[in-house]
Amino acid sequence: MPRKPKTVAARPFRYNPDGQLLCDAVPLETLAERYGTPLYCYSASQVRERLALFRKHFKRHDHLICYAVKANSNLSLLRMLAREGAGFDIVSGGELERVRRADKRAVARTVFSGAGKTAGEMDLALRAGILLFNVESEQELELLAERAAKLRKKARVALRVNPEVFAETHPYISTGLREHKFGIDIGRAREVYARAAKDKWLSPEGVSVHIGSQIRSAAPFGAALARVRALVEELAEDGIRIRSVDAGGGLGIDYTAQLGAEEFDAAKEVTEYAAALTEGMRGMQVRLLLEPGRFLVAQAGVLVARVLYRKRNGAKEFLITDAGMNDLIRPALYGAHHEIVPVERATADDSQNAIMDVVGPVCETGDFFARDRAMPDVHPGALIALLDTGAYAMSISSNYNSRSRAAEVLVDGKRVRLARRRETIEDQLRFEE
């Protein structure tokens, strides 16, 4: 009888016998006491485990895993990934500088995506010697050719094509259709590649595709790669040899899984994803570039907040915390769901749930983390943890209401590193007069 594949836990957070919620081996309460709240906590071991999953399932292919920096751009996290040999997917000159500071050698493993690259950003990337530009428009290609000629540095390029594959996800994070701002219509790509091949300072070496984010079905990824394969075959007929295919990112997670539940099996998700891509690119002798972001880091993170007040307005009850939409905007922006759990597990005597809105202190009705959520009977002073906040959380945080951004810690087993100190009002005012 074949052995059942090992299940990879959804999250690195669990309660110990004393009822303390741990990140790896460290109680979150200890971290909150040391560093204050709101506080982002990330598990390094979880990120490495997810990276290893990708490597295992794509080991039969020449591949490079390029972490999507936009998901979480903390330097400590980038350094750890660089040490593991990961590449990076960037979308700005600022992200390029973060990769350079994390590890100068990793710049050569970096692809530059994004629909609005400036001439200055192109110059930075050309001088740095990045791996590849994922070009998203014909005018961008023209500008890149000009900058490359001026600097006398050849630019390796891939066209990001829109494969017209629908991916069921939030409309704000769907990117693979012609009505989106990203990429080039795949029907025009052959003509654009022909022009690029004639330019002395451009080297068309790849094809790139990215159909969206938080996609839970593997089938659309395979369908997109099948369309790319047809394009690669056409380009070969034109004498243009494609050496790499960038499959983008977008593999989603289950934000609704209960803490400790095994409904979400990361190994199974990557197995199905790898199978779909392998089938889609069948017969292509190319290097496969992958750009996971959310899948690597989202479930490795929590946002720890302290309860300030409980109040009732009519029939409505509110749990007011010291974290706000400036710290975590996903619920307000996308209507995103995050599981919320007490940092100290409820006992049998106080486990009765109450229906309430979990909100922050920001002066916006949209400043909420959950509405009409069944919550344990927590009281002012208690700590709560918002799960799955390792991606698109701190990276989209702001100073709205002149609130200072949270501290971040990276936990690795029993070791704790302050990855970003808490911002102060002096930090905010430094550049103002």
Domain ranges of the chain: 13-41+299-429, 113-292
Contact between 82 and 51 (Cβ < 8 Å)? no
**Secondary structure letter of residue 421 according to DSSP:** P
Give pLDDT, residue 176: 38
41 part of the active site: no
Q: What percent of the chain has pLDDT over 70?
A: 92
Could you list the beta-strand ranges (E) of 91-149. Answer: 110-112, 132-135
For the stretch 222-271, pLDDT in tens is 899 999 999 999 999 999 999 999 999 999 999 998 888 766 788 999 99
Contact between 67 and 81 (Cβ < 8 Å)? yes
Catalytic residue among 23, 41, 66, 363, which? Answer: 363
Residue 214 has pLDDT above 70, yes or no: yes
Task: Please name every residue paired with 309 in a beta bridge, in sequence order, or none if there are none.
Answer: 320
What distance in Å separates the CA atoms of residue 48 and residue 297, rounded to the nearest whole number?
A: 9
What distance in Å separates the CA atoms of residue 343 and residue 191, rounded to the nearest whole number?
A: 57
Contact between 84 and 75 (Cβ < 8 Å)? no
Q: Can 13-41+299-429 and 113-292 be said to share one CATH topology?
A: no
Which listed CATH number (3.30.1540.10, 1.20.1250.10, 3.40.190.170, 3.20.20.10) goes with 113-292?
3.20.20.10
For the stretch 75-97, pLDDT in tens is 999 999 999 999 999 999 999 99
Q: Which CATH superfamily is domain 13-41+299-429 in?
A: Lyase, Ornithine Decarboxylase; Chain A, domain 1 (2.40.37.10)
Give pLDDT, residue 217: 85
**Which alpha helices (H) appear in 212-265, and where do they start and end?**
219-237
Residue 288 has pLDDT above 60, yes or no: yes
Residue 345 has pLDDT above 80, yes or no: yes
Which position has the token pair 């973060």? 98
Tokens of 244: 């790499």
